[in-house]
Amino acid sequence: MATLLHLIQAEWLKLTRRPLIWLLYGTFVVLLLITFAALLFVVLLHDGAIGGVAVQVLNDNQINQFRQELRFPGVFGALLGQINSIGGILAMILAAGVIGNEYSWGTLRVQLARQPQRGYYLIAKLLTLLLILLVGMLLVILAGGLFTLIAGWLLGNLGRVSAGDLGLLLLGMLRALYVMLPYVLFVVAASIIGRSVLAGVAGGLIFLTLDGGAGTLSFLSQTDNPIVRGIYNLLLQPNISRLVAQHRQSFGTDPTAVTGLDLSTLPPTWQAIIVIGVYSIVFAGYAYVSFTRRDIVGAS
């Protein structure tokens, strides 16, 4: 246990000093603020607050959703949704960098020559990566919260945050992290197998493409054939969608109004938790076995 703690301390120092991390988080905050500014702009246009003319291209239900997402606590659901979309991609890039660069810089062999318990090393790395992702989420929520103070003031309704909402926010952050797990672990495994950042990023892109492709098969979830429906619901995409939808649901906004998602076709929450867990365990296991059994350096 002491070894693991020492390794986590070392990883924390490496990660918190790494410019890439703060660059990615900065990029995320900027993208998030642009998205929220666009939402605010649409609502202000709808209300005729800009130029004195009301431009009403969205229906009342959609505009109401936007309003809720621009005040407390509805903003938390929208922020967690963003964390699992844009943030998920950035987390994959981060994971590829954290593992792959250790190979390309040669720092992995230096550390493993001193610390031959490779399993501990990988576990410490993953735990620290998850911790730093949680820190990133906090920063994003903080930035989104500050923007909401401005938006709420402009729209005349800040909303309010109860202790229960903060509890739901904490739960939502853990859920968002859980949703990211299979993607991050897949990238980690790809970086280890390819011993590079490029392998991790390429693996992540292929995985995202296949995962996105599975989303286009959503019509299969509406078929009468229970076997086809059952198989489709074992793919990652519908299970991820189930948990991500809960971000907005838990803060009283309707995920279907903005995303067009049909919640009735998605697998139940308990299944989503199990399926995502199984994918994560498989990817983590593959990463662990590859890391602990393969040579760290190639022929030389």
Partner 1 sequence: MSTEWAIEFHALTRRFGQHTAVDALSLRVPRSSVFGFLGPNGAGKTTTIAMLLGLVRPTSGHITIFGHDVQRTPTTALQRVGAMIEYPAFFPYLSGYDNLRVLARADGIAQPHARIQQVLALVDLAARSKDRFKTYSQGMKQRLGIAAALLNQPDLIVLDEPTNGLDPAGTVEMRELIRTLASEGRTIFMSSHLLHEVEQVCDQVAIIKQGKLIASGKVTELLHRGQGLLVQVTDQAEAAVALLGKLDWVNSVRHEGLTLLIDAPHERAAEINALLTRNDILVAEIRTREASLEAFFLQVTEQP
Instruction: Say how far apart CA 243 and CA 229 lie, in whole Å.
Output: 18
Contact between 14 and partner 1 by CB under 8 A: the answer reads yes
Contact between 23 and partner 1 by CB under 8 A: the answer reads no
Contact between 22 and partner 1 by CB under 8 A: the answer reads no
With CA atoms as reference, report the closest residue to 184 among 118, 142, 127, 260: 127
Instruction: Say how far apart CA 288 and CA 1 lie, in whole Å.
Output: 18
Contacts of residue 127, defined as CB under 8 A and 6 or more positions apart, other chains included, come to: 8, 11
Segment contacting partner 1 (CB under 8 A): 105-113, 127-135, 165-173, 184-192? Answer: 105-113
The only residue of 23, 56, 61, 106 in contact with partner 1, by rule CB under 8 A: 106
Axis-axis angle for helices 107-114, 86-105 (nearest 10): 70
With CA atoms as reference, report the closest residue to 212 among 255, 246, 183: 183
Q: How many residues bind partner 1 (CB under 8 A)?
A: 29
Segment contacting partner 1 (CB under 8 A): 110-118, 183-191, 215-223, 274-282? Answer: 110-118
Q: Tell the smallest beta-carbon distance from residue 120 to partner 1 (Å).
A: 10
User: Among residue numbers 159 through 198, which ones bind partner 1 (CB under 8 A)?
Assistant: none
Contact between 114 and partner 1 by CB under 8 A: the answer reads yes
Contact between 1 and partner 1 by CB under 8 A: the answer reads no
DSSP state, 116? -
Instruction: Say how far apart CA 219 and CA 40 lie, in whole Å.
Output: 33
Between residues 224 and 295, which has the closer beta carbon with respect to partner 1? 295
Contact between 16 and partner 1 by CB under 8 A: the answer reads no
Q: Give bridge partners of residue 159 from the DSSP assignment.
A: 72
Q: Tell the smallest beta-carbon distance from residue 138 to partner 1 (Å).
A: 23
Between residues 115 and 271, which has the closer beta carbon with respect to partner 1? 115
Contacts of residue 172, defined as CB under 8 A and 6 or more positions apart, other chains included, come to: 76, 77, 80, 246, 247, 250, 251
Contact between 113 and partner 1 by CB under 8 A: the answer reads yes
Between residues 110 and 166, which has the closer beta carbon with respect to partner 1? 110
Between residues 20 and 166, which has the closer beta carbon with respect to partner 1? 20
82 neighbors 140 (Cβ within 8 angstroms): yes
Q: Rule CB under 8 A: which residues touch partner 1?
A: 2-3, 6-7, 9-10, 13-14, 17-19, 105-107, 109-117, 295-300
